[in-house]
Amino acid sequence: MTDAAEIINTVRGTDGTYLPKSIERDERIARGLVPKLMRVIGRVPFADDLVAAWYAARDPLTPMKAKAVLFAAVAYFVMPLDLLPDMVVGLGFTDDATVLATALGVVGMYVKERHRRMARRLLRLPEPVKGAD
């Protein structure tokens, strides 16, 4: 943390470290990911990327700035107020996908294969076949 305002606006996270309040708020909102995802799983083609981002954001090895971006993307998916309501057939998740794709474009290097494996396990997706290009 580099400036005084950022240091003053911190809270103790669940793991005992100090987090900027905005990250703590987004992490709290993102806790609703699994219940919402299980309700809409058949309609979310990017579910594995979303859950992998969530696991990466919760990883203690992920840098704070990457956590902020990833938690914000996951929180956007979970929040009930949306730019495009999720119930709009064909378009409902396009804004969520755009936010996630942007987040992964910025900090995707921190979403490791172990996060992707955990996501596939949670979603009960098969492991990719090695050498199937």
Q: What are the tens digits of pLDDT across the range 103-123? A: 999 999 999 999 999 999 888
Which residue is listed with tokens 């969520």? 96
Q: What is residue 52's predicted lDDT score, i.e. its pLDDT?
A: 95
For residue 132, tell me if it sits in a domain.
Answer: no
Alpha-carbon distance 8 to 131, whole Å?
50
**pTM tops 0.85, yes or no:** no
For residue 128, tell me if it sits in a domain.
Answer: no
For residue 133, tell me if it sits in a domain.
Answer: no
**Which range is least confidently modeled, 6-15, 25-34, 41-50?**
6-15
For residue 131, tell me if it sits in a domain.
Answer: no
Alpha-carbon distance 73 to 58, whole Å?
13
Q: Biggest alpha carbon distance in the chain?
A: 51
**Domain boundaries, position 41:** 4-123
Q: What angle, 0 to 180 degrees and rounded to 10, lies between the N-to-C axes of helices 113-123 and 47-58?
A: 120
Total domains present in the chain? 1
